Every structure is written in C-alpha cells, then in structure tokens.
Structure 1
C-alpha cells in the first residue's frame, strides 16, 4: 500500500506550481527558487532526522549505511543539477534558475520518499 501512495504522489507532483515564474526578471526568479529550495532543505532535514530515528526499529539498515547513501545522494544531485543548469539554462541567470528548479524537484521527491518509508505518508 505504501508503494502505491508513493507512486501516486510522485506522478501527481510533476512540476510544482511556483510563484517564482511571476517574477519580472530572471535574477528575481533565481532568487525566488533559491528561497523555495531553502525552505525545502529545512523540511528535508527534519524528515531525514525522523528517518534516522526510525532506523533503530529496522534491523536491515544501519544508521551508517543510511547516512552514507544520503551523502552520495547529495553529491549526485549537486552534480546532476549543475549539469542540467548548464545544459538547459543558456545565460548564467537562467542556469541558476534551472539549477534551483532541479534541486527543488529532487528535494520534493526525497521528502516524500522519507515520509513514505518512515510510515508518515497520509493514507
């Protein structure tokens, strides 16, 4: 059941609506997306801490394994979003917008994954 909730949520998320596209300049859009990512980062850290606390109940995965995997995830999204920003961005300001949008998408999915795997997802 939890996997269905996860799949439905991932597919329904798509590209989230953002007020950042209403900003008049590319630089303001980049700043707006940066603020959205910062908010998601706080939420992601809370979910991460909760997931760590739940690992004590799961003998199949150690805290060290989980932390190592998440460290690799952080490195991956940084590299992936840097490349996507350069590929799709064009001008430097647009590269920043694309970079931040990429990070936002990854963060939203990871937050949802933490919620589902920690049995916190809404039914």
Structure 2
C-alpha cells in the first residue's frame, strides 16, 4: 500500500497551500473521481493500489465521463464539482493533486501508462511535460 490518508492529505494541503484539511480532501476526491473515469484496467487498479484506501475507492468508483475530457474540460468539470470554485482555482486544484501526489505516488513508469490513456496535454497537468 502507498501513503496513508493523513499523510496524503498533509502533502496536498502543504503543496496546495490550503487553509484546511477539508479543502485538501475535497480537491483530492473530486480530481481523483474525474481521473478515475478516464482510466481503465490494470493502470487504474495499479494506481488505486498505491493510494490511501479512501481515495482508491473514489478512483475505482468514478464520476462517469461520457467521453474523455481534454485538459481544459477536465479543469472545468473540477470547478463544477467544487463549490465556489473558478476555473483558476480549479486549475490549481487539479495541478496540485495530479502533479504532486499522483506523480509522486505513481512513479514514472505508471505515470507514463496513465498518460497513454488520457487525451493529449495532461502531461502539463501532471507537471511532467513530455518532450515533443
């Protein structure tokens, strides 16, 4: 198993500069629920296995996306699920949760497999720009 719940949220809170743990949790849940809708099979299971159990369940029981969302729409969808969010704050939430945590937890090999399942441009949201 990967990081425990408290450690995970502590990292998100610190990197995201959230005033409360609740905000860190809300961002984590929404972003991972949307991400989970985009991933299938072993890649999703492998990422879930490295997340705290609560978030693993979020990833494995995702919000349904009718089609893969391009990065801009992923950010917009995040804003829609977070009360009081704007696209600017949602872009921050997405980049914090993805870049830091998922990238840190997943490691390069799994992250590359994740990116293969996503529309172009997510490498930037994960904070790992791919060479052109």
- TM-score normalized with structure 1 length: 0.32
Higher relative contact order (CA 8 A, sep 6+): 1
- TM-score normalized with structure 2 length: 0.30
Greater helix fraction, Structure 1 or Structure 2: 1
Q: Name the larger-Rg structure.
A: 1
